[in-house]
Structure 1
Amino acid sequence: MLHVFGVIGKVLGTFLLVMLITGIILACFAMAYIKQVILPQAHLDANFDMNLTSTIYYMDSSTGQYVEHLSLHGSENRELVTYDQIPQNLINATIAIEDERFLTHNGVDWKRTLNGVLLMFTGKDIQGGSTITQQLIKNVTQYDDVTVKRKILEIFTALDFDATYSKEQIMEWYLNYIYLGDGCSGVATAAKNYFGKEVSELSLAECASLISITNNPTLYGPNSSIRITNEKTGEVTTGRERNKERQELVLWKMKELNMISEQEYQEAVAEELVFTRSEDESKPTTIYNWYDEQVITDVINDLMEEKGYSQTLAENTVLSGGLKIYACVDTRIQSIVESVYYDQNSLKLPSKKGQDIQSSIVIIDPQGNVVGLAGALGSKDANRVLNMASGTVRQPGSSIKPLSVYAPAIELGLITPASVYADEPVRVLNGKNWPLNNPQTYRGDITVETALEVSSNPVAVRILEEMGAETSFNFVEENFHIDLEDYYLSNGEVKNDYGSSQLALGGLTHGVSVMDMAAAYSVFPRDGTYLEPRTYSKVTREVNGVEEVLLDNTNTEGEVILSTRTTYYMNEMLKNVVTSGTGTAARISGMTVAGKTGSTTANNDRWFVGYTPYYTAAVWVGYKTPERIYANNNPAAVMWQKVMSQVHEGLANKDFTEASGLTTVQICKDSGLRATDACRSDPRGDRVMQVSVFPEDAPAENCGSHVLVEVCTESPIVDADGNAVSGLYHLAGEFCPREANEAQGITQGTVTSIGVLTGNTGDSQYTKAYLESQGSCTVHTSETKPEDPTEYDPSTFRLEDQSTWPTQEQWPGFNPEDPSTYPTVSTEPSPPPTTEPTDTPEPVITPSPTPPPEETPSEEPYIPAGG
């Protein structure tokens, strides 16, 4: 028997020895594996990036302080909070339900870990046992494979992490990182989403409700739409009911761990949870307004341009980089823009093909801030859609003229507002006069001021060609910062923007954006300084607790591109466009407005770019797919007025900057030179205008266009229908009486027709050549014999009644100041008749004048009878 036991003992000993040796060998292998494989991967630095919500701020005009306006986020909506901003109740609730020994273990709860190992040996999944530290590590490393290696690596990483960082740091990171459903990452975002509060303001009951979500956001989220039916009872529970059940479990656990008292527990259980949305209310989709979307686009583009970011990196940084973006929006103005532009009924002009009319607007203040904009007309139902204020270009038509023709020509000293050019065809193209005006009339010689006011196409072309297309091209690109096309190959044809049609008439190869037009025109009220339009002033982000500037857009010095001389002239002329020219629809009662209209040849695009001393705004109107616009007036000017009249409510009227040292001079409208008497006696009326110019621009020469000619006012010139042409008479002939003659100032006729005229040619008949072609007076064709004066009856004379006085022909020598010359009737009796004739006639007695007394001659003028 002893032998048997001895054998058994040897076997057992051998087995145990083998097991021991095997265990030692395995332990050695395990130690080697841990040392060589696990430990090198076990260290984790806490410099992991969390996807953070970026925030747009705007300045509150009433306080001058920046306030939070909008939160931006990509796939994760997260705001960071520090440990001291987190309520102790929320920290305790997290420990109670997630890891009750968190404050005492070293990163691994061995009791729960061994339980997990036992589950492994029973053939079940490795689960449970994860501490808050392990969950944080799992979340930030994004490893979710459930393997022995993964579990071992997680344990050793947790041990290392806990030894490296404090419990407060680990808890802060965990609560900022966890997902809490409804698109919320971190407790700060979730607190605002579910309760509409800052996380620091949460009550005990709300803290327990919030942390209850972490177990399974799909099931325990208060806004979960999932309904679960109990198979035994048939009871159906909602997400809000399940959240309440788990909240009470958390509170009970907190009471059990002596984190709260019985009274606190009872009060928290009884507290009604008030959520921001009703149970069946879906979470509203955030639709950015046009301005916010422009800010996002601008920051992305600037990160790519200034920092060299890729498109993807720039977008991720803006949406999930925790940026603080300080916007330049004026919320009052933006709300006005939206009230007009979100309403499709603000402009009803359906196209022939059934398209709704479209429009966009950009408003800029004197500091270069874009204070309001809209990228389309009608409701905005989606994000990152086509923005027709900045994302498209359209042909500007005549609205380009101040930028490409008039401003550069004045700046270069080629013209002044008083310069005169011919509003007549420049040349004949394809058998037709070019360019046409709209309407198709020509006005003859007109001043530059008038040409801009009526939007003369020929004058713009003449000035451009005198200046040179290349000069204009470079000026627009380099000074107004509008991109033009210098080479574009389309269907084998080379196109560019160096021609008169492009630069003088606005038919650009591609076009220009509303944003660029607003920025360019804002130079005029800013006295010649160009500022790049900006939607944000700066972008910052927090790095190691310090807010650093990522993008700085605060430069407001700008670039001086025009002299004050040029801007003064442009402001004065563009004011006339609104008061009496093509832009009258944009007038604002009690406010100084200047601007320019624009329309393209096919009338597919309509523009009005206008400004006041307060703001500049550009408006485009057209169809998304270009079609002809049929409207009685300029719809762009109408939309401009609808918005800007509200923007300027309550603002005092003021003018643009006044120029100093101006001189006033009278010039002739037809020559631009100093006016003469001939200019004042033009048959069309006084052709003299008074202008205020800088001394160097005052003309030195007198008008040579007008000459005085004698006409007979009794011989009017008639047209083909026999109607008298206003103010025109035949030239005076040799037989015309002096009293019918009149000296008129007639132009020499500097405008010469170059081809087939289209429509009315303006005042071309009011020229010397035209009058000469009509010949001399047709009324007085021969000498007339003077008529004998009517015999005067002296008995009718009454000194007090001038109408009874005789003319000098009727009573020679009559002088109302000399009684001796008054007409008298003879008082001598007539001799008696004789019966016999005599050869000697009786003498006739006539009154002889009495010599006047000698006295000082009267200073009163001589007044003839009947005068």
Structure 2
Amino acid sequence: MATTSNQAPQPGRKRPRRQRSTAATVAVTIGKVVGTLLLIGIITAVILICFAARYIQTVIIPQAHIEANFVMDQTSIIYYEDPNTGEYVEHLSLHGDENRILVDYEDIPEDMIKATVAIEDRTFWEHHGVNWRRTLYGVILMFTGQDIQGGSTITQQLIKNFTGYDDVTVKRKIQEIFTALDFEKNYSKEQILEWYLNYIYLGDTCSGVATAAEHYFGKDLSELSLAECASIISITNNPTIYGPNSNVRMTNEDGEVTTGRERNKQRQELVLWTMWDQGIITEEEYQAAVAEELVFVSDVDEEEPATIYSWYDEQVITDVMNDLMEQYGYSELVASDMVYSGGLRIYACVDQNVQSIVESVYSDRSNLELTSNSGQEIQSAIVIVDPEGNIVGLAGALGDKTTNRGWNYASRSRRQPGSSIKPLSVYAPALEAGLITPASVFDDYPVQVLGGSAWPLNNPQTYRGLVTVADALRVSSNPAAVRVLQMLGFENSFNFMQDNFHIDLEEGLEVNGEIKNDLGSSQLALGGLTNGVRVIDMAAAYSVFPRDGLYIESRTYTQVTRIAEDGTEEVILDNTNREPEAVLSSETTYYINDMLKDVVTGGNGATGTAAQISGMTVAGKTGSTNSNTDRWFVGYTPYYTAAVWVGYDTPERIYASGNPAVTMWEKVMSQVHEGLENKDFTQPDGLVTVQICRDSGLRASEACLNDPRGSRVQSMTLFADDVPAETCAMHVSVEVCTDSPVLDSSGTAIEGLYHLAGEFCPREADESLGITEGTVQTIGILDYTRELVGGVSSPDGNYFKSFLDAQGTCDVHTTAPEPVEPAGYDPNSFDITDPSTWPPVNDPRYENFDPENPATWPTPEPEETPGTETPGTGETTTPDTTPAPSPTPAETPGSEPFIPASQ
């Protein structure tokens, strides 16, 4: 039998360790894991909270404030500067086209306010801008993968109307919350409701409840009944669905098709029920309002606006609105109201004389009468910029302007610029990088075969062969532009266009599953940009050239102000502090100006000769697309830069003689420059004139002068550092025989080209051989090898040494000529004073003849002396003595010795 000992353990003996159960061990382990995870979660949460707090403090809160202390019941005025006095004078009072009647809070019916609060934000009078319960619900939806929705108070909805920001993202919701909290600190509930009810959109172009009252019920806002108030506020949920005049047909749960008015009535009853449910109205009021018939007035046709703004005035309005939205975060709706009725003073840059000329030309369609194959009338736009970057004249379309805020081709359309892009994307950046000079030579010949055809094409579809950069620009060579671009590099060109000329280009755009961008030859060298370019941007970019390399952002206004409460003029927008940006060197701008002048005055293939203005320096560049759907001319003088686009609204091929954009440019700019003194562009120091070879770009040699096409030597003015040090080695001298012309495939002699001289071709006259003159001539021929592309020939190919070598030598003088017997010579005719009587050079008897040596002169044959017949013998006796010869002139007594003339 076991016994239990109560004695304490003996010293030196270990107490038995109690074994922990498996469950306890697992529980402890789980506890440790959970505790660790909890600790990690807490630490992570703290870190995230710190990051969130920092983000809110540095990013959200600085953007949370909205300045909304503006008025909407004062006329805004546009002013322009009088060029004679320098003073600003009133030009135009603005009246908005928006269908809006503004009302004060006191003039809004109580039923409208109650209906709004009941259906839109029942806790409006209690919260401080945010309904936290509804906001939390929206966050839960977000974390459960559903759409972020709900939580928007009237204050938050007003902020959306003010800013136009309605994208549903976490950042936007956070921004909206803090903006609403800040907003309610600065503005009263009544002011918020007043703005909200004046700005909500209620369908049929109606903005604000007062406008909707007039439009739908033909009543003043104060005359609306409870039922009518509920009907109008019902539209806010979705004007397309609940607008009384909505033509959208929808099928309800019962399969019935409902109209807009039926859906408006259903929504109105929900608003009324909500008001009754919240105790805002009694049941009797609810029943009476539901039973009341809603009588909508007939639709009213929109009337034409009383004032049609000019293209320029409309651009000013657009620019001010855009700047208000960008600088203050206002929505388009708010910015529009500020411009039209916010009491603004807008100081425009328009030159009234220039604008009146623009309008007179562009309002008259007879100045450009073209119709497409589908019947479209031609369109055009022009923008004129002065040296200070002011847009002084503008037209957004052709023909009479009959509407406001219509489509403006000058500032809204993006069209393909064609070759007008070349000075911006190819030649200016290549000059700036030191890769080329105007004397550099490139081959106007296809670069590659693309789609089975030689590419790129020229317009017209011919090639010229080797050309200088100056000539390539003058005739708008596409292959030369591509070759320069390849030397420059696509990215360098792309970045230069964006950074220096501020032309927006496309880095990557998916179109039908294909990524398109502007990093390519077709885009940058030929002007086939993915999104095109605006007329207003082309004018600003080209104005860099006459401005000696300075880019200034173009503007239509200098300042926008308003009269503050203390009577002072407060600046709202300021365009006066624009720092010019140096984007080109004086060397580059000189070269571009000089070459683009040649586009207008150069002739011989120059593309812009129709832009000449009598007595005025003009430079510019034409542009057209391969399909000829867009035509451009961007030209400038020392006074103004103007860009002109011509095309159809829906792109179609333009069939016209010449470039119609040049025609419109000249019609406007010739009048703009009347009475202005001619002057040239800036000419820097350090220029020298040098004779260069047009085929090599190097210093001209004698062989360049002797090119069979005519002299290839050209005078060119370059900066000293750009003058070529080497002499042309491309032209080599060869001997040809002019008796043996080279024939083309049709048997016609190729101008100036002959077979190489052979050994028997006479190099000089030789009477002994019957040769009166030599037929061997020295010419300069091109020692240049071109790789043929697409079977295309070029006119200079016939003047390559390889071509001439292939023709062989002279086919006329193939054997040595036979000597010709000299004609008889009578020495008795010799008279030293008459060279015509001297012996012929091919008479071997007198091969040593020397006019200065009498010993070599011909000796006259003795005359036959009659003999004396001896009588009876029949013999004749010759005298023994010979008569002395007549003395020579030198021996004549009393005369000076004769010195014969040299031959």
TM-score by shorter chain over 0.5: yes
Are 2:400 and 1:386 aligned? Answer: no
The question of whether the paired residues in 1 share the 8 Å contact of 2:889 and 2:898 is answered with: no
The question of whether the paired residues in 2 share the 8 Å contact of 1:663 and 1:695 is answered with: yes
Out of 782, 804, 807, the residue aligned to residue 771 of structure 1 is 804
Are 2:642 and 1:617 aligned? Answer: yes
The question of whether the paired residues in 2 share the 8 Å contact of 1:367 and 1:556 is answered with: no
* Residue matched to 2:794: 761
Are 2:897 and 1:862 aligned? Answer: no
Instruction: Name the CA distance, whole Å, in 2 between partners of 1:813 and 1:387.
Output: 94
Counterparts in 2 of 1:301-380, with a 5 A limit?
A: 301-380=322-401
Change in CA separation of 1:409 and 1:856 when aligned onto 2, cut-off 3 Å: farther
The question of whether the paired residues in 2 share the 8 Å contact of 1:423 and 1:456 is answered with: yes
* Residue matched to 1:177: none
* Aligned-residue offset at 1:733: 0.2
* Residue matched to 1:572: 594
Are 2:103 and 1:142 aligned? Answer: no
Instruction: Name the CA distance, whole Å, in 2 between partners of 1:762 and 1:438.
Output: 16
* Residue matched to 2:466: 445
* Aligned-residue offset at 1:813: 5.9
Are 2:836 and 1:785 aligned? Answer: no
* Residue matched to 1:218: none
* Residue matched to 2:777: 742
Deviations 1:214-238 (A, max 9, x none): xxxxxxxxxxxxxxxxxxxxxxxxx
Counterparts in 2 of 1:464-479, with a 5 A limit?
A: 464-479=485-500
* Aligned-residue offset at 1:385: 0.2
Equivalent pairs, count: 623
* Aligned-residue offset at 1:800: 7.7
Counterparts in 2 of 1:513-592, with a 5 A limit?
A: 513-544=534-565, 545-579=567-601, 580=603, 581-592=606-617
Instruction: Name the CA distance, whole Å, in 2 between partners of 1:736 and 1:571.
Output: 51
Instruction: Name the CA distance, whole Å, in 2 between partners of 1:554 and 1:806.
Output: 95
Out of 747, 751, 758, the residue aligned to residue 722 of structure 1 is 747
* Residue matched to 2:142: none
Counterparts in 2 of 1:61-80, with a 5 A limit?
A: 61-74=83-96
* Aligned-residue offset at 1:833: 9.2
3-state SS in 2 of match to 1:619: strand
Deviations 1:404-457 (A, max 9, x none): 000000000110000001111111112211111111111111111111111111
Instruction: Name the CA distance, whole Å, in 2 between partners of 1:720 and 1:421.
Output: 28
Q: Structure 1 residues 688-697 or 400-409, which shifts more?
A: 688-697
Instruction: Name the CA distance, whole Å, in 1 between partners of 2:881 and 2:756.
Output: 55
3-state SS in 2 of match to 1:436: coil
Are 2:624 and 1:599 aligned? Answer: yes
Change in CA separation of 1:72 and 1:788 when aligned onto 2, cut-off 3 Å: same
Change in CA separation of 1:531 and 1:146 when aligned onto 2, cut-off 3 Å: closer
The question of whether the paired residues in 2 share the 8 Å contact of 1:591 and 1:612 is answered with: yes
3-state SS in 2 of match to 1:64: coil
Instruction: Name the CA distance, whole Å, in 2 between partners of 1:847 and 1:551.
Output: 119
**What letter is aligned with 1:142?**
D
* Aligned-residue offset at 1:776: 0.2
* Aligned-residue offset at 1:830: 3.1
Instruction: Name the CA distance, whole Å, in 2 between partners of 1:724 and 1:846.
Output: 65
Instruction: Name the CA distance, whole Å, in 2 between partners of 1:536 and 1:410.
Output: 34
Q: Structure 1 residues 844-853 or 698-707, which shifts more?
A: 844-853
**What letter is aligned with 2:80?**
Y
Change in CA separation of 1:746 and 1:840 when aligned onto 2, cut-off 3 Å: farther
The question of whether the paired residues in 2 share the 8 Å contact of 1:716 and 1:728 is answered with: yes
Instruction: Name the CA distance, whole Å, in 1 between partners of 2:879 and 2:419.
Output: 96
* Aligned-residue offset at 1:839: 15
**What letter is aligned with 1:373?**
L
Instruction: Name the CA distance, whole Å, in 2 between partners of 1:362 and 1:819.
Output: 90
**What letter is aligned with 1:615?**
Y
3-state SS in 1 of match to 2:411: coil
The question of whether the paired residues in 1 share the 8 Å contact of 2:868 and 2:876 is answered with: no
The question of whether the paired residues in 2 share the 8 Å contact of 1:360 and 1:388 is answered with: yes
The question of whether the paired residues in 2 share the 8 Å contact of 1:424 and 1:751 is answered with: no
Out of 670, 673, 698, the residue aligned to residue 698 of structure 2 is 673
**What letter is aligned with 2:624?**
S
Instruction: Name the CA distance, whole Å, in 2 between partners of 1:848 and 1:694.
Output: 76
3-state SS in 1 of match to 2:664: helix
* Residue matched to 1:498: 519
Change in CA separation of 1:523 and 1:847 when aligned onto 2, cut-off 3 Å: farther
The question of whether the paired residues in 2 share the 8 Å contact of 1:529 and 1:559 is answered with: yes
* Aligned-residue offset at 1:555: 2.8
Q: Structure 1 residues 556-565 or 603-612, which shifts more?
A: 556-565
* Residue matched to 2:18: none
Counterparts in 2 of 1:103-142, with a 5 A limit?
A: 141-142=106-107
**What letter is aligned with 1:862?**
S
The question of whether the paired residues in 1 share the 8 Å contact of 2:867 and 2:878 is answered with: no
Instruction: Name the CA distance, whole Å, in 2 between partners of 1:842 and 1:703.
Output: 78
**What letter is aligned with 1:473?**
F
Counterparts in 2 of 1:403-442, with a 5 A limit?
A: 403-442=424-463
Change in CA separation of 1:588 and 1:75 when aligned onto 2, cut-off 3 Å: closer
Deviations 1:328-374 (A, max 9, x none): 00000000001100011110111111111000000000000000010
* Residue matched to 1:52: 74
The question of whether the paired residues in 1 share the 8 Å contact of 2:889 and 2:897 is answered with: no
Change in CA separation of 1:314 and 1:676 when aligned onto 2, cut-off 3 Å: same
* Aligned-residue offset at 1:297: 0.1
**What letter is aligned with 1:549?**
V
Change in CA separation of 1:837 and 1:813 when aligned onto 2, cut-off 3 Å: farther
**What letter is aligned with 2:504?**
D
**What letter is aligned with 2:779?**
Q
Instruction: Name the CA distance, whole Å, in 2 between partners of 1:782 and 1:439.
Output: 48
3-state SS in 1 of match to 2:306: coil
Q: Structure 1 residues 824-833 or 558-567, which shifts more?
A: 824-833
Deviations 1:480-500 (A, max 9, x none): 001000110111111000010
* Aligned-residue offset at 1:714: 1.4
The question of whether the paired residues in 2 share the 8 Å contact of 1:444 and 1:762 is answered with: yes
* Aligned-residue offset at 1:822: 7.3
The question of whether the paired residues in 2 share the 8 Å contact of 1:749 and 1:764 is answered with: no
* Aligned-residue offset at 1:856: 12
* Residue matched to 2:28: none
The question of whether the paired residues in 1 share the 8 Å contact of 2:692 and 2:716 is answered with: yes
Instruction: Name the CA distance, whole Å, in 2 between partners of 1:297 and 1:49.
Output: 19
Change in CA separation of 1:142 and 1:855 when aligned onto 2, cut-off 3 Å: farther
Instruction: Name the CA distance, whole Å, in 2 between partners of 1:76 and 1:600.
Output: 39
Counterparts in 2 of 1:11-410, with a 5 A limit?
A: 49=71, 51-74=73-96, 141-143=106-108, 285-410=306-431
Instruction: Name the CA distance, whole Å, in 2 between partners of 1:68 and 1:594.
Output: 36
Instruction: Name the CA distance, whole Å, in 1 between partners of 2:410 and 2:641.
Output: 14
Instruction: Name the CA distance, whole Å, in 2 between partners of 1:685 and 1:861.
Output: 40
Consecutive unaligned residues in structure 2, runs of 5 or more:
1-68, 113-302, 764-773
* Aligned-residue offset at 1:289: 0.4
The question of whether the paired residues in 2 share the 8 Å contact of 1:361 and 1:619 is answered with: yes
Q: Structure 1 residues 795-804 or 765-774, which shifts more?
A: 795-804
* Residue matched to 1:752: 787
TM-score norm. by structure 2 comes to 0.65
* Aligned-residue offset at 1:806: 4.7
3-state SS in 2 of match to 1:743: strand
Instruction: Name the CA distance, whole Å, in 1 between partners of 2:584 and 2:858.
Output: 80
The question of whether the paired residues in 1 share the 8 Å contact of 2:608 and 2:622 is answered with: yes
Change in CA separation of 1:709 and 1:76 when aligned onto 2, cut-off 3 Å: closer
The question of whether the paired residues in 1 share the 8 Å contact of 2:304 and 2:403 is answered with: no
Change in CA separation of 1:322 and 1:772 when aligned onto 2, cut-off 3 Å: same
TM-score norm. by structure 1 comes to 0.67
Instruction: Name the CA distance, whole Å, in 1 between partners of 2:419 and 2:490.
Output: 16
Change in CA separation of 1:701 and 1:354 when aligned onto 2, cut-off 3 Å: same
Change in CA separation of 1:710 and 1:849 when aligned onto 2, cut-off 3 Å: farther
Please report the RMSD computed on the Cα atoms of aligned residues, expressed in angstroms. 3.3
Instruction: Name the CA distance, whole Å, in 1 between partners of 2:898 and 2:329.
Output: 102
3-state SS in 2 of match to 1:445: strand
